[in-house]
C-alpha cells in the first residue's frame, strides 16, 4: 500500500529564501529514489512563509529509507534554526 505524506514547513520570515533553496535542492534526488512515486514542492498562496511538500512513497520502508539519505539529512541541517514549525502527516488512502 502506498503512503502519502504532506509536510508543512513554516519558515521564519527572514529565512524564506534559504528554506526555499534547501527544499528545492532535495526534490531531484528524492524523485530519483526507487521508492518515490511523487515529490512536489509547493508554496502556500496566502502564507508566503509556508511551504508544502506533497509526497507519495511505495510504503513506510521507502519513506524511512528516504529519511536516512544524505540529501534529506542535508535538508534537515540546512533548515535547522530557520523554521518556526514543521508538521508531517502520513496518510493512508481509504478509497
pLDDT in tens, 15-60: 999 999 999 999 999 999 999 999 999 999 999 999 999 999 999 9
Give the pLDDT band (50/70/90) at residue 76. Answer: very high
pTM equals 0.94
Q: Where are the domains of the chain?
A: 3-91
- Read off the pLDDT band of 93 (50, 70, 90): confident
Say yes or no to pLDDT of 6 above 90: yes
- Give the DSSP per-residue string, the chain: --EEEEEEEEE-GGGHHHHHHHHHHHHHHHHTSTTEEEEEEEE-SS-TTEEEEEEEESSHHHHHHHHTSHHHHHHHHHHTTTEEEEEEEEE----
Which CATH code of 3.30.70.260, 3.40.1350.10, 3.30.1490.20, 3.30.70.100 fits the domain covering 3-91? 3.30.70.100
Amino acid at each position: 500500500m502506498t503512503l502519502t505524506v504532506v509536510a508543512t514547513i513554516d519558515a521564519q520570515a527572514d529565512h524564506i529564501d534559504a528554506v526555499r533553496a534547501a527544499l528545492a535542492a532535495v526534490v531531484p534526488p528524492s524523485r530519483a529514489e526507487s521508492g518515490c512515486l511523487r515529490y512536489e514542492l509547493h508554496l502556500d498562496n496566502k502564507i508566503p512563509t509556508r511551504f508544502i511538500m506533497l509526497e507519495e512513497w511505495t510504503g513506510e520502508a521507502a519513506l524511512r529509507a528516504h529519511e536516512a539519505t544524505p540529501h534529506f539529512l542535508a535538508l534537515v541541517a540546512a533548515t535547522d534554526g530557520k523554521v518556526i514549525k514543521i508538521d508531517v502527516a502520513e496518510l493512508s488512502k481509504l478509497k
